[in-house]
Amino acid sequence: MTPVVSLRGAGLQFGKRVLWAGLDLDINPGEFFAVLGPNGSGKTSFLKVLLGLQELHSGTVSLGGHPVERGSKRIGYIPQQKSFAPDTPLRARDLVGLGIDGHRWGMRLGAARVNRRVDELLDLVGASDYSNVPVGLLSGGEQQRLRAAQALATDPQVLLCDEPLLSLDLHHQQGVSALINRQCHERNSAVVFVTHEINPVIDYVDRVLYLAGGRFRVGTPQEVMTTDVLSELYNSHVEVIHANGRIVVVGLPDATTHFHDDAHPTAGEDF
Ligand SMILES: Nc1ncnc2c1ncn2[C@@H]1O[C@H](COP(=O)(O)OP(=O)(O)OP(=O)(O)O)[C@@H](O)[C@H]1O
């Protein structure tokens, strides 16, 4: 299978602060790939590298066999949530409509087809009831569902999601994560899903990249989410408990207070 995302010898650092180094990684079409780690470990920066918004310090990154570029139509992106200003002059359906690119279906879509597609997408994320409401008047969770709909509108080859479940209630967490999973398996998109919390997507995740303290591990959740691996990564004893299909990590250090500027990172390992 030809990978859709490839990194070779990839490293990123700001000043002396190394987020990761020596990352070799292929992400395949139809793979649900989670990026985990504590605050400040580099999860959003990883997505920015794939978006072409952040240059690597070392190594290479390619998307679909080509160097990454800003604004690529191959990519759908659900950004980390920021609220729209109350006076934003867009209705919910306008926001979703902005994500539609008629060329994906071989010809420009007419207004009626755009409207139908917008209605489908609004329905998918359970946002039909507020399709005509200005986005700035919607709750954070409602706005987030619209961003998910917008990101799916182009049927992207790669779907990048930055904490897409934040501020969603449980019901809509399940709805949005199932939707992202469908895009992954039915449309064969590679999903790169940044999250603090693996449990809401544990049933979907194929592999994880776990970033912490300038180091990383890549593997299946069963391989990475273990007491031994995470204790080594955090350089501190943590306990990983598997119960009822959920994973609980107990005793996590605050990575920001355990970070040392002069730390020499150990290259991560693939399992
Ligand atoms: N352009 C930049 N210049 C300098 N430092 C940066 C830059 N971008 C990010 N950083 C730093 O790199 C670290 C990682 O940031 P990033 O946003 O990728 O972390 P994160 O894992 O997504 O965190 P969170 O979970 O809090 O969202 C942070 O300490 C951040 O301050």
Give the pLDDT confidence score for residue 81 in this predicted structure: 77
The whole-angstrom separation of Cα 58 and Cα 146 is: 36
The whole-angstrom separation of Cα 41 and Cα 18 is: 9
Ligand 1, residue 37: give the atom nearest the CA.
21
| Interval 43-76: pLDDT, tens | 999 999 999 999 999 999 999 888 998 888 889 9
- Per DSSP, 181 falls in state H
Residue (of 213, 212, 210, 216) closest to 269 by Cα position: 216
Give the pLDDT confidence score for residue 163 in this predicted structure: 93
Compute, in angstroms, the gap from residue 111 CA to the centroid of ligand 1: 41
Q: Whose CA is nearest to atom 31 of ligand 1?
A: 40
Which residues form ligand 1's pocket by a CB distance below 6 Å? 14, 19, 37, 39-45
pTM of the shown model: 0.87
Question: Does the pLDDT value for residue 216 go beyond 90?
Answer: yes
Q: Measuring CA to CA, how many Å separate 13 from each of 3, 16, 45, 58, 217?
A: 25, 7, 10, 9, 17
Mean pLDDT within 103-114: 64
| Interval 138-148: pLDDT, tens | 988 889 889 99
Compute, in angstroms, the gap from residue 77 CA to the centroid of ligand 1: 18
The percent of residues above 70 in pLDDT, for the chain, comes to 90
How does residue 101 score in pLDDT terms, banded at 50, 70 and 90? low
